[in-house]
Structure 1
């Protein structure tokens, strides 16, 4: 039995497709099961509720061999520790109580870099990894750079011919698609050979490093119109997250710290290898995911 948390998220929903295609026995934890596609809901065992609730995770993990863990975002949180550590605690206890053998979680690049000590969401993601590993369960942390899919949040600006970031336009960094993260998560969950193997990171770097200027060029080519990149200072980025994205000061500050660390090269510290290079190119992602959102969203 594989338990999938956040099954209606971008990663979780795609992960379910891979697991069901492999005829895996799947259970999901869902606050609102009606958000699951009918063809998915009919093929999985559903536990209704939050995976931050002790009763829910103890019920869901009963008889489970492995768990996919994704800390759900909470843009209004007063403290990032509540998002990554306090939310985790009931599940961390339940891993051992219910005999879960393996956990695959969504995390971030940065471990071992000086920037990671003050990198907001990344700092807490790495602390979350440590907490899971300390539970004694075998754990694989999928460590990622920024997602290509984050650009979906700027669909309105892209329709106007631009996009924004506090990362310098000429800094080439890795970027990956959530489709590839889901594929790697499925691979790890379906492979039981690492049960009892402790903690390891599994980087997911996408196919190549790109700068924001590179992305603007590719966007222009795919969309058939000029798309410009506009750099924004960190302080302006943080203020916009509060004023226009509705984030709490704590969450916006965490985002600002994370982006400052990325601008300082945190995501570039992970060496690229054949094993951590994934296939979906930025151009392919634009064509398959972004374009339908821009014109149909």
Structure 2
């Protein structure tokens, strides 16, 4: 039995779709089962509720061999520690009490990197990894850079202004990955019954690109000029809190981006194992361009 958390989210629904091609029995934890397509509801066992709820995860993990663990975004959390570590505590108790053997979790890279101060969401994600590992389960932390798919949050400015924004230097080359590749790696691990122990699995995409490189590729794929505009950290935080994010979570995002700009973005060495296939150009052609044209 494989349990999938966040099965209607950006990554979770792709993991679930991949798993449905296998013969493994699948159980999902979902707050609102109606958000699952009918053909999927008919093929999986559904446990309704939040995977931060002790009773929900205890029921969901009963008899489970493997769990796909993803903390959903909580923009109004009181702290990044609460959003990642405290959210995961009931699940960690249930991993132990229900005898779960293997967990695959979506995390962040940067363990061991020399970054001054707190790296926000990254620091909290790594603390979550430590908590999960302390339960004794086999654990694979998917160590993520930025997602290509995050640019979909800026579709309107790309479409109408020919611009996208961040606080990172436009010339800093860094890895970026497509969520489809994250889902593929996660699925492979969930279906593999042979591994144990604790390890990090970076998913770095096929190449390191700067935001200026990405703007050039977007311009070519979209057949219109697109440029990157670096903004101040204070402007980013103001935009986040203005959209309803708590001050603590906005600061956590800012701390993470500042850490990326200080060297965290290039801290994970690229290896053949961490290199995944979807190029930024391919992603722009298959995902971004249809979104811009919609």
Contact 1:110/1:116 (8 A) holds in 2: no
Q: CA deviation at 1:24?
A: 1.9
Q: CA RMSD in A?
A: 1.0
In 1, the alpha carbon distance for the partners of 2:269 and 2:129 equals 20
Q: Secondary structure at the match of 2:20?
A: helix
Q: How many residues align?
A: 293
Q: In the alignment, which residue of structure 1 is the partner of 2:2?
A: 2
In 2, the alpha carbon distance for the partners of 1:37 and 1:265 equals 42
In 2, the alpha carbon distance for the partners of 1:2 and 1:115 equals 36
Q: Secondary structure at the match of 1:76?
A: coil
Q: Secondary structure at the match of 1:27?
A: strand
Q: In the alignment, which residue of structure 2 is the partner of 1:187?
A: 188
Q: In the alignment, which residue of structure 1 is the partner of 2:275?
A: 277
Once the two structures are superposed, the pairs formed by residues 20-35 of structure 1 within 5 Å of their partners are 20-35=20-35
Q: In the alignment, which residue of structure 2 is the partner of 1:130?
A: 130
Gaps of 5+ in 1: none
Contact 1:116/1:266 (8 A) holds in 2: no
Contact 1:162/1:227 (8 A) holds in 2: yes
Once the two structures are superposed, the pairs formed by residues 124-273 of structure 1 within 5 Å of their partners are 124-160=124-160, 161-194=162-195, 197-243=196-242, 245-273=243-271
In 1, the alpha carbon distance for the partners of 2:116 and 2:135 equals 23
Deviates more, 1:231-240 or 1:101-110: 231-240
In 1, the alpha carbon distance for the partners of 2:152 and 2:57 equals 31
Q: Secondary structure at the match of 2:140?
A: strand
Q: Secondary structure at the match of 1:193?
A: coil
Q: CA deviation at 1:290?
A: 1.3
Q: CA deviation at 1:235?
A: 1.7
In 2, the alpha carbon distance for the partners of 1:266 and 1:287 equals 28
Q: Segments of 4+ in structure 1 off by > 3 A?
A: none
Summarize the Cα distance change of 1:289–1:116 in structure 2 as closer, same or farther, 3 Å threshold. farther
Gaps of 5+ in 2: none
Q: CA deviation at 1:114?
A: 2.1
In 1, the alpha carbon distance for the partners of 2:143 and 2:116 equals 13
Contact 1:216/1:227 (8 A) holds in 2: yes
Once the two structures are superposed, the pairs formed by residues 114-125 of structure 1 within 5 Å of their partners are 114-115=114-115, 118-125=118-125
In 2, the alpha carbon distance for the partners of 1:5 and 1:270 equals 27
Contact 1:116/1:123 (8 A) holds in 2: no
Q: Deviations over 1:30-70 (max 9, x none)?
A: 00011112221111110000000011001000110000000
Q: Secondary structure at the match of 1:174?
A: strand
Q: Secondary structure at the match of 1:229?
A: strand
TM-score under structure 2 length normalisation = 0.98
In 2, the alpha carbon distance for the partners of 1:117 and 1:32 equals 38
In 2, the alpha carbon distance for the partners of 1:286 and 1:116 equals 34
